[in-house]
Structure 1
Amino acid sequence: MADEREIRLQRLHALREQGINPYPNDVERTHTIADVLEHFDELAGPEGSYTLTGRIRLLREMGKAAFAKIEDGTASIQVYFRINDVGEEAYRSIKLLDLGDFIQVTGFLFVTRTGERTLHVLRYRLLTKGIHPLPEKYHGLEDIELRQRKRFLDLIANGDEVRQVFVIRSRTITAMRHYLDEHGFIEVETPILQPLYGGATARPFITHHNTLDRDLYLRIAVELYLKRLIVGGFERVYEIGRSFRNEGIDRSHNPEFTMMECYQAYADYNDIMKLVEEMIAFIAQEVKGTTHITYQGTEIDLTPPWKRIPLLDAIAEHTGIDVSRYPDKESLATAMRAQGYEADPKLGRGRLIDDLKGAMLRKGIPALRQAFFLIDYPIDVSPLAKMHRSKPGLVERFQPFVGGLELGNAFTELNDPLDQRARFEDQLRQRAQGDDEAQVLDEDFLEAIETGMPPTGGLGIGIDRLAMLMANQESIRDVILFPTMRKTADE
């Protein structure tokens, strides 16, 4: 690799000695490659003149003629050089070109004897000299970690396949915006740097503002700011943006991720469930052309309505533990250990229930790989949700699951400021007992809801996981262009 780079540098110097600028400022292009291929029959002929640009992917010289294949962001095409057409000096310079260089070619279109659609080059220019050699074209870039760490190489080596994943991601977000906009939601922006983090159970990233001489936090959620806007009179708001949680990395978690959160006044969790199943079905129709999708080998029907499954019933059925029989963390932890589940003594009852839910979902139960909602959670795991109107000890909360992926979280939002304060204070007690992911008390937010927040339904959806579903990707790192990676030995 080092030897090849040195050879390319020598060719770069040779080009400059010939008076050729290997990195010119200006560039011309009359058509994309896809344009000329789409209209090839009507454009072909020696009277035409078309200027294309692209990266050289194949190059072979045959005496007084040479063939290359170039590709731009739309397609690839063969180009043909002949010494009599481009001139001896320019033709000799072809020897100084390498795979990966960008060139500009002008000529006419024709079909070779073997049926290959080709541009017959009359003149060409070098646009960019590549110094670092490309990955092997035909074998691709197969090391998964290297593909994720060096996304630019992944896009070059596995271009169409990888680009399609991120086209699907983009179209997923566009479709989501379209749905929300059409349903009266207003897109807003809230702070990423926050004086106090909240809205989720997670550890934050901490930074320091020198001028103000104070610590700030990268947001772990946008919930508390969007609720302030509901208090202020907005009735339907949403935000799509980055959140940050100082947590582990696995196939469904990245410390930096994209969330959509929305809040709707005069709504409850039943209204938001309807919104979720309709919105995801709409997104699938827009992106995939159908509400019947395949994720990791499982056929899934996203057509509303989705099944509603009470959380505690599901845990009892699939783990053998009836959580309602264990009113405190000690008794629940004992029951979990008796069934072979780990139970961290530092965690509160709510976090233990959450661990049980995760263990249940990891079992790969076929019914839990379809589209469904887990509903009606214990208050222990939901400090921002409203008490259930008919089920004591539970709150009106749900989570949507599709293909085994937890896509989000939603509540009938708690708008009783005294109840909210009491729950924040309970979270502080859990922090004092060692749960460093318990939520902190936000006095400014409490003042806001003391001013009065109307009945509200709220939702958070993980965009990365939704993109995994739509693009049929197993790992979150495959739908994030530049995921957070562990350090290498060289770093």
Structure 2
Amino acid sequence: MSDTDRLCFDTTKIDKLQELRERGVTLYPYTFERKDTVTGIKERFSGIGHDKSEEEVSTAGRVYVVRQHGKTIFADMGDSDGRLQLYLRKNDLGEEQFDLFRQYVDAGDIIGVVGHVFRTKMGEITIWVDRFELLTKSVCPLPEKFHGLKNVETRYRQRYLDLIMNEESRETFRTRSRIISLLRQFLFEREYLEFETPTLQPIYGGANARPFTTHHNALDQKLYLRIAPELYLKRLVVGGFDRVFEIAKNFRNEDIDTNHNPEFSMVEIYEAYRDYNDMMDLTEEIFSYLAETIHGKPVCSFAGQELDFTRPWRRLSMEEAVREYAGIDINAMSLEELRAFGLERCVEGCESATTRGEYLVLFFEHFGEKQLVQPTFVYDFPVENSPLAKKHRSKEGMTERFELFIAGMEMANGFSELNDPLDQKARLELQDAKRQRGDLEAQMVDYDFINALGYGMPPTGGVGIGIDRLVMLLTGKDSIKEVLLFPQMRTPVSGSNGSEPEQDGGEE
């Protein structure tokens, strides 16, 4: 199937379009003086009776339903705020205008109307239309009015159609916008500065992930889409900005599932003279504030469970988590015993693990992560998998790193940031050696970043929070595709109707 074959154009609608042109009707005009929104009209005329208002209203929106009754027509029109009923009479509009609406205005078209407001006998606030203007003639049919758009793949591939048809989807993305706005407000009030760092980077770093690569023709240089803004934000701390953050688009060449998309959003926050304990406190404050502001209380429902964000949250070390959920003391067993334990319980990756720290992480991920439903900080990670975190002040072989888990998902990752340039050089060179041996997720050595540390970075705490998963929690959506406007999708198979809207069900 060609791309042209996937177009949704309806021949009947195309014919109407041509007929309107032949009649001299101005199609696709440039503007309309919309003075009122649907919500504004409903609020202003909430006490209206059956008599028409003296005040005139002017609004515009998409037609969803047209119901013809001889010399009168009822229609439902909606804008981004909601829907409102229209009432049109032949005696008011005149025969030409009335017939124009009756013959050529369909569900999906966008119109502007001017009229007066009244309440019908059924109690519905309605605009008694004095005149209308066809602003946009749609040539693709909407899904049937009673069943809407329910096909999940079509909703993701054609989000514009999903937003037209489904108020729940519009509300999800209104909430997403509000969450990001509230997050900025929260940080601004605490005197953090927002910055923008490069998306195209000559050296990727800041996380263990496989990057996307590209090429700059003029420079004849290989570049990478950033996997994290971390190393650039830390350069800003070196430069003297004590509180910084960025709401960033990151890109990781990884699998796609209900919790992962190769393009995703996160906020990274850094504050000088703080450590990972302070960042755990800050993360608690952010989540609790957002939950309380969005829901009016510090709880929300997700995947059939009630999540409670009331502070303080549970905190346990990774070693404690493995003791609790795997039933073993990692420090009381030899490497051979740890390997045998992992193989017996089919722990992925344990056949290649060589250190106690590697086993600790594998056992936590296998036994512990999914058990952490209520907000829980897991802290003190082994140095092997934490190349950017400062070594623990009292635990040999560990770092001052934490991750936040809610509903079995990793929600945040934070450190007491490593600011020793010699230690950082050694750890990144170990990462690069792994990369040279074929570890596609290992980090490169960023010598300019190490130079920056060489000029001195104060003690610093940092945390990164996944915005998409945060929105999932606060909107009760169990798939990341539900909170991304345009999630990455596999190209439709030739011969399928992959991008075409499916019409679910028949007329009731």
Amino acid at match of 1:145: E
| Structure 1 partner of 2:164 | 156
Shift of 1:322: 3.9
Name which of 303, 320, 326 aligns with 1:313.
Answer: 320
Q: Which whole-Å CA distance do the structure 1 matches of 2:427 and 2:306 have between them?
A: 41
CA contact (8 A) 2:326 2:368 kept: no
Q: Distance in 1 between matches of 2:274 and 2:467?
A: 23
1:105 aligned onto 2:113 = yes
What is the letter of the counterpart of residue 307 of structure 1? Answer: R
CA distances 1:416-471 after superposition (whole Å, capped 9, x unpaired): 11111111122123223332211111111111101111111111110101111111
Residue type matched to 1:455 in 2? P
2:248 to 241, 246, 259: 241
Q: Which of 318, 340, 346 is the aligned partner of 1:340?
A: 346
- Between the aligned partners of 2:445 and 2:11, the Cα distance in structure 1 is 60
Q: Which amino acid aligns with 1:277?
A: E
- Counterpart position of 1:448: 452
Pair 1:390-2:398 in alignment: no
1:114-193 alignment, distance < 5 Å: 114-158=122-166, 160-193=167-200
Distance 1:315 1:21 in 2: 70
**What secondary structure, in the 3-state scheme, does the structure 2 residue paired with 1:45 have?**
coil
CA–CA separation in structure 1 for the residues paired with 2:122 and 2:192: 56
2:444 maps to a residue whose letter is V
Asked if the contact 1:347–1:434 (Cα under 8 Å) also holds between the matched residues in 2, the reply is no
Aligned to 1:24: 29
Amino acid at match of 1:206: T
Give 1:333 shift: 4.5
Letter in 1 for 2:342: M
**SS of the residue aligned with 1:154?**
helix
Report the Cα offset of residue 353 of structure 1.
Answer: 4.4
Pairing partner for 2:265 from 250, 254, 258? 258
CA distance in 1 between partners of 2:200 and 2:262 (Å): 15
| Count of residue correspondences | 486
Q: TM-score by structure 1 length?
A: 0.94
Looking at structure 2, the residues matched to 241 and 216 of structure 1 have their Cα atoms a distance apart, in angstroms, of: 18
- Offset, 1:22: 2.3
- Contact 1:321-1:336 at 8 Å conserved across structures: no
Alignment of 1:308-457 (within 5 A): 308-324=315-331, 332-343=338-349, 353-361=360-368, 364-365=370-371, 368-457=372-461
Counterpart Cα distance in 1 of 2:334 and 2:258: 33
Letter in 1 for 2:176: R
Partners of 2:429 and 2:328 lie apart in 1 by: 29
Q: Structure 2 vs 1, CA of residues 411 and 79 (structure 1 numbering), >3 Å: closer, same or farther? A: same
Give the SS at the match of 2:10.
helix
SS in 1 for 2:474: helix
Which letter does structure 1 place at the counterpart of 2:343? R
1:295 aligns with 2:302: yes
- Corresponding residue of 2:217: 210
Q: How many angstroms apart in 1 are the aligned matches of 2:215 and 2:353?
A: 29
Deviation, 1:2, is 8.8
Answer yes or no: is the 8 Å Cα contact 1:347–1:435 preserved in 2: no
SS in structure 1 opposite 2:320? helix
Q: Percent identity over the alignment?
A: 47
Give the match's secondary structure for 1:173.
helix
The normalised TM-score by structure 2 is 0.91
The answer for unaligned runs of 5 or more in structure 2 is 1-5, 499-508
1:44-123 aligned within 5 A: 45-94=52-101, 95-123=103-131
RMSD: 2.1
* 1:292 and 1:302 in contact (8 A); partners too: yes
Distance 1:280 1:208 in 2: 39
